[in-house]
């Protein structure tokens, strides 16, 4: 005989997109100029270069019964602006952003760093993924996972 339980709650993924422009260079100071040029090509150019980044933040959860929202997108927009955009927009990612110090600002490393800034601030729903586009064709997705291998 079927036991009736609480109705299953639909799980949704809500996405907010933000944009910022920033300068960086890919350079590992532990290696020679020659190694950096060979490894990173023009991305290692000493005087930096810019990208128009797109950041997508995905929050998972069920709609709250009183609002119908997983998360208020206006609030999510504020969090992204405060935590990421205001700190990175029109900045040099190698030198000017406190939480990026010591990192090679590849899209991968930026995605992990952004996750760590955003995750504790998302209290409605849960942070599910972030996607960081360095160009229209190149992007990285991070879901807060660790490689067990």
CA-based Rg of the chain, rounded to a whole angstrom? 19
The DSSP code for 93 is: T
Phi, psi dihedrals of residue 40, rounded to the nearest 5°: -105, -5
Residue 134 designated active-site:
yes
In whole angstroms, the minimum distance from the beta carbon of 132 to Ni ion comes to: 12
Residue 34 designated active-site:
no
In whole angstroms, the minimum distance from the beta carbon of 55 to Ni ion comes to: 15
Site for Ni ion in 126-145 (CB under 5 A): none
Site for Ni ion in 41-60 (CB under 5 A): 43
In whole angstroms, the minimum distance from the beta carbon of 38 to Ni ion comes to: 16
Residue 114 and residue 65 in contact, taking contact as beta carbons nearer than 8 Å: no
**Which residue in 43, 51, 56, 108 is the catalytic one?**
43
Give the number of residues written for the chain.
Answer: 149
Residue 149 designated active-site:
no
Size of the site for Ni ion (CB under 5 A): 1
Residue 114 and residue 130 in contact, taking contact as beta carbons nearer than 8 Å: yes
For Ni ion, the closer CB: 18 or 43: 43
For the chain, give the longest Cα–Cα distance: 73
For Ni ion, the closer CB: 43 or 112: 43
**Which residue in 64, 90, 119, 141 is the catalytic one?**
90
Residue indicated by tokens 């599910």: 128
User: How far, in Å, CA of 11 to CA of 8, rounded?
Assistant: 9
**Which residues sit at the interface with Ni ion, rule CB under 5 A?**
43
Positions marked catalytic: 43, 90, 134
């Amino acid at each position: 005989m079927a036991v009736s339980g609480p109705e299953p709650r639909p799980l949704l993924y809500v996405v907010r997109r933000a944009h910022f422009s920033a300068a960086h260079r890919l350079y590992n100071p532990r290696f020679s100029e020659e190694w950096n040029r060979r490894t990173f090509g023009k991305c290692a150019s000493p005087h930096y270069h810019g990208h128009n980044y797109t950041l997508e933040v995905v929050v998972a959860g069920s709609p709250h019964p009183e609002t119908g929202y997983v998360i208020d997108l206006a609030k999510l927009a504020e969090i992204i602006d405060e935590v990421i955009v205001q700190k990175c927009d029109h900045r040099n990612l190698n030198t000017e952003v406190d939480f990026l110090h010591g990192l090679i600002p590849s899209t991968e490393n930026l995605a992990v760093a952004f996750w760590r800034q955003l995750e504790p601030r998302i209290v409605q729903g849960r942070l599910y993924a972030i996607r960081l586009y360095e160009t229209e064709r190149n992007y990285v997705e991070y879901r807060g996972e660790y490689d067990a291998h």
